[in-house]
Amino acid sequence: MKKGLSQTCHRFFSTVSNPTRLATLEKLREGPMNVSQLAEALNQEQSMISHNLRPLVRCRFVHVERRGRERIYRLNRETVEALFKIVENHAEKYCPTGGRCP
Amino acid sequence: MKKGLSQTCHRFFSTVSNPTRLATLEKLREGPMNVSQLAEALNQEQSMISHNLRPLVRCRFVHVERRGRERIYRLNRETVEALFKIVENHAEKYCPTGGRCP
DNA sequence: ACCTCGTATGAAACATATTTCATATGAAGA
DNA sequence: TCTTCATATGAAATATGTTTCATACGAGGT
Give me the sign of the Cα torsion angle A25, A31, A35, A36.
Answer: negative
Measure, in angstroms, how far nucleotide D4 C1' is from residue B30 CA: 61
Alpha carbon distance B13, A8 (integer Å): 14
pLDDT score at A49: 98
Closest nucleotide (CA of A67 to C1')?
A: C27
Q: Which nucleotide is nearest to A53 (CA to C1')?
A: D8
pLDDT, tens digit, 9 for 90 and up, residues A61-102: 999 999 999 999 999 999 999 999 999 999 999 987 755 554
Q: Which residues contact residue A22 at a Cβ distance below 8 angstroms, ignoring those fewer than 6 apart?
A: A16, B6, B9, B10, B13
Q: What CATH number matches the domain at A3-75, 3.30.1330.10, 1.10.10.10, 3.90.800.10, 3.40.50.460?
A: 1.10.10.10
- Quick check: helix, strand or coil at residue A63? strand
At A1, the pLDDT band (50, 70, 90 cuts) reads very low
